[in-house]
Structure 1
């Protein structure tokens, strides 16, 4: 008869996310995970499978949560520019908070690029979902006259997606909240009519 689990799976997964975000897949050892997750080796394998499967589950969970928060902020306001600003500033707050000083999604992209299909499937899905949301909001903003009439929503959405990535990298490099807010301000000014 199997022993019941003596830990909370979601808490353990959140701790794994933090370790992978800070150290990447290759930089994270199984002993580091066990210590952070406060579980034994057998519990890790019984509950999550191997390190790779744990990493992919952690990446999916982190990506879903992070993207959900960004998109919720983006659509929280009827005013398009205000919604985009909320999304970007929320991303900044997350990037500089003690709770999420490193981004697992950015780490996955920089560590693996396009070399690992299972990792790329997760990062591509998140990027695509975010891109579509930005493009939808931008089209709406152009149609309503809130944004520059000659703005290309597809290109601007790519720009905003790159801005999100750049904000996380800059935060990881030690950029202050004020510096990151300045980047957001420049990005927003690029969208408004002259």
Structure 2
């Protein structure tokens, strides 16, 4: 008599990480409200029953896709901030962000901006989740800059939270401009201006 435990249900015929990445791209291109179930299932290569049985709903699918996307982006941001000085951390953060916003292997811009720009009132939780994701990145910046201030690596009187908000505002503005067609060179040129301004604070 076999002692093997029977496997219940049919094995999934798809890789979840792959279909989540494909779903993220649909949400990225069309926003949450504009991403239809037909577009999602078509891009993911699965049918609606599989979508519902695996992810539960469109909102849960979005949250899973965004959590995967955000986890990778936050890890990249923390790595960019791991520089010996505050200014170097800011510069690497902004330049790597500009490169990512204009990379050719995904839609231009940023999912955390494009995904919820036009959410209807009933989908406000989606906008709130995206805002929370951006707040995580800002918190990482604030933490790094607060440490720099404590170490004397920022000019006296410069407020780390305000500087973190400035950097995030520039990065998020870049996301909007990238989605509208701004080139990598154009975004990097504005980083040049920002670094000149920040460098002047130290003189």
With normalisation by structure 2, the TM-score equals 0.85
1:55-101 deviation digits (Å, cap 9, x = unpaired): 122122222221221121111x2122112211111111110011232
1:4 correspondence with 2:11 = yes
1:53 correspondence with 2:34 = no
C-alpha displacement of 1:125: 2.8
**Is the Cα–Cα contact under 8 Å of residues 27 and 115 in structure 2 kept in the other structure?**
no
CA distance in 2, matches of 1:113, 1:127: 20
Q: Secondary structure at the match of 2:84?
A: coil
**Is the Cα–Cα contact under 8 Å of residues 19 and 28 in structure 1 kept in the other structure?**
yes
- Which residue does the alignment assign to 1:94? 100
- Which residue does the alignment assign to 1:38? 45
* Match 2:139 to one of 132, 142, 150: 132
Task: Indicate the larger mover: 10-19 or 106-115.
Answer: 106-115
CA distance in 1, matches of 2:30, 2:162: 32
User: Number of paired residues?
Assistant: 193
* Match 1:21 to one of 22, 28, 31: 28
- Which segments of structure 1 move beyond 6 Å, counting only runs of 4 or more? none
- Which residue does the alignment assign to 1:78? 84
Higher-Rg structure is 2
CA distance in 2, matches of 1:189, 1:113: 40
**Is the Cα–Cα contact under 8 Å of residues 151 and 191 in structure 1 kept in the other structure?**
no
Task: Indicate the larger mover: 88-97 or 181-190.
Answer: 181-190
1:175 correspondence with 2:182 = yes
Are residues 181 and 113 of structure 1, via their aligned partners in 2, closer, same or farther at CA, if it must alter by over 3 Å?
farther
With normalisation by structure 1, the TM-score equals 0.89
Unaligned runs of 5+ in 2: 1-7
